[in-house]
Amino acid sequence: MKKRIIAWAVLLSVCAAALGLWCSAAGKTARTLPCEEEGLILSITTFDGKSESKPFLKCFGHTWIGLDNRTGHTVYLKDRAIPDGEMVTFSVWAVSGLSGLLFDLEPCYIANYGRYTGRLSLSTNIGEEQLKVIEDYMEQHDKWTVDKNCSYWSVHLWNAVVGEDAALKIRGFVCTPEKIEQAFSAFDCVEADKDFSRAGGIYCYKDGERTELQLCS
């Protein structure tokens, strides 16, 4: 009888804790990030891979950063001129023979192959002085690794630029697109299938120089 009482007490404690967590989550108000259609717009986009997965073949998804120039003038990211009205995307990839940091590859995949359907994006305005923060981060983190994959790279760059109020909280040791999607739930301004058609051609930096690339036909 004593064992039954203890078992019920443990069960009730677990249920109470779960209910407390649910009520806490339910009581939180989703935040809205400032994002005017002018100035510099930074975005983080994540794709969980579900629309591209097949039986016995799972697509693990991808995450990347976008920068949209609506300032009315040209801005520069490293040696890349981004004219007003254009955008650029960037993330790290597991590639051989090149730096893992590639630019504008995601828009080409979307335009040519219809990839990343169901992707989710979070966007906010940043100041032009934050371009230096992005450049410094790229200099220090320009490769893909198993523990510092595209999702890890993108969310840490996002957090370094936007500050605490817009930072994404990721739980656990391994960062994945699914975890970023969960972090997006703290905001009410998430965009589905964001348009990246105003990006340019693919390139990377190798030995400090920009190298133009093309998709294999």
Distance CA 175, CA 149 (A): 8
Examine residue 217 and state whether it is found in any structural domain, yes or no: no
Q: Are residues 106 and 17 in the same domain?
A: no
Examine residue 191 and state whether it is found in any structural domain, yes or no: yes
Q: What is the pTM of this model?
A: 0.84
pLDDT for the residue 217: 65
pLDDT for the residue 35: 79
The angle at the Cα of 48, spanning 103 to 153, to the nearest 5 degrees, equals 45
pLDDT for the residue 7: 43
Q: Are residues 65 and 15 in the same domain?
A: no
Which residues does residue 44 pair with via DSSP β-bridges, in sequence order?
65, 122
Q: Are residues 83 and 5 in the same domain?
A: no
pLDDT for the residue 17: 39
pLDDT for the residue 30: 74
Nearest residue to 102 (alpha-carbon basis) of 46, 154, 47: 154
φ, ψ for residue 198, nearest 5 deg? -90, 10
Q: Are residues 20 and 61 in the same domain?
A: no
Question: Please, what's the b/e burial string for 4-28 (b: 16 or more CB within 10 A of its CB; e: otherwise)?
Answer: eeeeeeeeeeeeeeeeeeeeeeeee
Sheet holding 62-70, edge to edge: 191-192, 120-126, 39-47, 62-70, 87-92, 101-103, 203-206, 209-212
Q: Are residues 22 and 51 in the same domain?
A: no
Q: Are residues 73 and 158 in the same domain?
A: yes
How long, in residues, is the chain?
Answer: 217
Examine residue 178 and state whether it is found in any structural domain, yes or no: yes
Distance CA 159, CA 168 (A): 7
Range of the domain at 10: 1-30
- In tens digits, the chain (217 residues) has pLDDT values of 444 444 444 343 434 333 343 333 444 677 888 778 889 999 999 999 999 998 888 888 999 999 999 999 999 999 999 999 999 999 999 887 777 899 999 999 999 999 999 999 999 999 999 999 999 999 999 889 888 999 999 999 999 999 898 999 998 889 999 999 999 999 998 999 999 999 999 999 877 788 899 887 6
pLDDT for the residue 6: 42
Q: Are residues 68 and 5 in the same domain?
A: no
Q: Are residues 16 and 68 in the same domain?
A: no
Number of separate domains in the chain = 2
pLDDT for the residue 28: 60
Q: Are residues 51 and 11 in the same domain?
A: no
Q: Are residues 144 and 164 in the same domain?
A: yes
Q: Are residues 185 and 99 in the same domain?
A: yes
pLDDT for the residue 11: 40
Q: Are residues 58 and 118 in the same domain?
A: yes
Examine residue 6 and state whether it is found in any structural domain, yes or no: yes
